[in-house]
Amino acid sequence: MTATALVTTGKPAPRKKMTRKKWQTVVWFVALIAITLVVIYPLVWLFASTFKPNSEFGQNQGLIPLEPTLQNYATIMEGIGGVPMWRFFMNSLILAVAAVVGTLFSSSLAAYAFARVKFKGLGIFFSAMIGTLLLPVHVVIIPQYIWFNKLGLVDTFVPLILPKFLATEAFFVFLMVQFIRNLPRDMDEAARIDGAGHGRIFWSVILPLIKPSLITGAIFAFIWTWNDFLAPLLYLNSPENYPLPIALNLYNDQTSTSDYGATVTASFVALIPILLFFIVFQRFLVNGVATQGLKG
């Protein structure tokens, strides 16, 4: 706000304005660096704590380990409950990749229908789709569980993956609808005049053009599935099927008093893929969120 004021008032008394502006910039940086420290501190603390021996937890609350060790990493590699760590990691990876594939497939199809096809019922179903953005999970998880249980699919990955192929997460459909709507129609009109049907237009014209929203959608689908706790907690019973969040819960449950170091280190390891995603794709994520006006 003040920036606008300073820019627009412009010329008179340049010297005084300059110093005032410089001073404001310093305050600006200091304030933001202070906020950054508070916001980032828990993550830095987590990282630093992975190198602390168990004896230091509860004693040394600072960042620097007094006797740095890699013992925690060695401990978690062994896994928990007789299942090695890499197995949990693979389960998480399988679920997340399947979620990405399913979400992109089903959401892009639905988004094309909502944004580019004029059919009877369009308005009603579009409103319904938007409505599900606001739907609390509480009214659907119990019947979903009962039905998957009846079908004998509990303790398989099906209840976790199937919904992704059915576009149940309206966020992704909405993200892509918004993106397709903002595309000029010339290209699909031209394709239509050349005799292309909707299938052809979707595949050869629209899909290549909405790549940015597909990438944004893929990243979010991956991260949300990677973090998801409730669904795997409901559906998976055997430790060898557990993804990382449920494995972390085992650490938290059984060993939090005796092996704090391993719990904290496993937590950090579980975050590594997301942090890497964030560092590599942060522009896509932040801009995707900003342009779509939807939260991450």
The residues in 63-122 that bind other proteins, with binding defined as CB under 8 A, are 105-107, 109-110, 112-115, 117-122
Per rule CB under 8 A, is residue 290 in the interface with other proteins? yes
Q: Which of residues 224-243 bind other proteins (CB under 8 A)?
A: 226-227, 229-230, 233-234
Q: Which of residues 136-195 bind other proteins (CB under 8 A)?
A: 136-147, 149, 163, 165-168, 173-174, 177-178, 181
Least distance from C-beta 247 to other proteins, angstroms? 9
Question: Is the CB of 43 or the CB of 70 nearer to other proteins?
Answer: 43
Phi first, then psi: what are they for 281, rounded to 5°?
-105, 15
Per rule CB under 8 A, is residue 25 in the interface with other proteins? yes
Least distance from C-beta 134 to other proteins, angstroms? 5
Least distance from C-beta 266 to other proteins, angstroms? 8
Among 135, 151, 190, 276, binds other proteins (CB under 8 A): 135
Question: Is the CB of 43 or the CB of 90 nearer to other proteins?
Answer: 43
Least distance from C-beta 41 to other proteins, angstroms? 8
Per rule CB under 8 A, is residue 284 in the interface with other proteins? no
Phi first, then psi: what are they for 53, rounded to 5°?
-70, 155
Least distance from C-beta 204 to other proteins, angstroms? 15
Per rule CB under 8 A, is residue 255 in the interface with other proteins? no
